[in-house]
Every structure is written in C-alpha cells, then in structure tokens.
Amino acid sequence: MPESGPLDEPKAPAFERVSDELKTILGSAPKFYLAGAFTRFPVQFRRFTTGPAAGKYGVDLMAQGPLMPSLVGRVSIVDGTSTLLPGGISYHNEYRNPETDRQEPASKALIAAYTLAMLTIRNRCTRYADGIFVAPGALRLVQRRIAVLADG
C-alpha cells in the first residue's frame, strides 16, 4: 500500500503486484507499507485533528496490522547532483492491539517476514561498502558516474 499523503477516507489503495500505476505513485511518493501473512488485523487509520491535514486520515503504524514501513530507493537531485537515496524496510518492536488497546511485542511471524525481505534484498544487491548494498541498476548509475550515493 503506497502512502501518497493524507487521505479523505480511512482506506487506501492496495496492490498485490507491482503495476504501472503503482510505479507512477511510488515515483512521486516513495513511501509504502508491506502487509502479508504476518498481518493479523486490517490496516488501522488515525484521523488528524490539527494542522493542514486536519480531518483527513493516515495509516496508524503503531497499531497492529502490523505493517512494515518501507521506502523505495531512488535518484533525486541533492545540491545539484543526481544522488541515490536509500530505500529500506523496517518494523516496530511493539504494536497496539486494536481489540484490547494493549501494547504487544512484534510477532515472530513479522520478524521472520522482515528477515526474509532483508535477505532477499541483500542477495539481489552488491555490497558496496560496510553495511551498504546497492541494487544492480543503481550500481551501474554509480559506476557510470550518472549518480552518487547519498552520504551516510
């Protein structure tokens, strides 16, 4: 599920596969959420009560699902230079159970899904430096000096 900003209703588009529509959305709003077998509850939303988004909705990341917040790695202009910005996947150590309103630790299923996602990414990337893995297409951009890696 991509996050393209505050929503008018407490629901958001979900995609089973990468489509041209999803690519277009992620091109301008690179934040998205992963759900899967580890997701126990429907996506939870919160209503904004103040600020420019007052009256609109956003995903409540601290409530179970749970969901894994994610970010697409991408090229962006930083100080006039084409720069590869990092992507990533994460999870929280605790989530609020929407039925009991109590905090619960991240499930073993969530941690296993996160671990598998990270291993899959690392196996498809090249170690560029300590703790930095670069996807093949991004590595070609760096090697051809079309883009530079973002600083730490």
When pLDDT is cut at 50, 70 and 90, the band that residue 63 belongs to is: very high
Question: What is the reported pLDDT for 130?
Answer: 82
Distance CA 11, CA 66 (A): 15
For 22, the 3-state DSSP assignment is: helix
Mean pLDDT, residues 114-137: 90
Q: List all residues 6 or more positions away from 112 whose beta carbon is below 8 Å from its beta carbon.
A: 38
Tally of CB atoms within 10 A around 52: 7
**Cα angle, residue 126 at apex, residues 125 and 131 outer, rounded to 5°:** 95
* pLDDT computed for residue 1 by the predictor: 82
Give percent above pLDDT 70 in the chain. Answer: 99
Q: Is 12 exposed, middle or buried (0-12, 13-18, 19+ CB in 10 A)?
A: middle
For residue 131, the model assigns a pLDDT of 79
**Would you kindly state where each structural domain of the chain is located, as residue ranges?**
20-149
Going from the C-alpha of 82 to that of each of 60, 71, 73, the distances in angstroms are: 33, 18, 13
**pTM (2 d.p.):** 0.83
Enumerate residues 6+ apart whose C-beta is below 8 A from 21.
Answer: 15
The answer to whether residue 111 scores a pLDDT higher than 60 is yes
Q: What is the mean pLDDT of residues 123-144?
A: 89
pLDDT tens, position by position, 2-61: 887 899 999 988 899 989 998 888 888 889 999 999 999 999 999 999 999 999 999 999
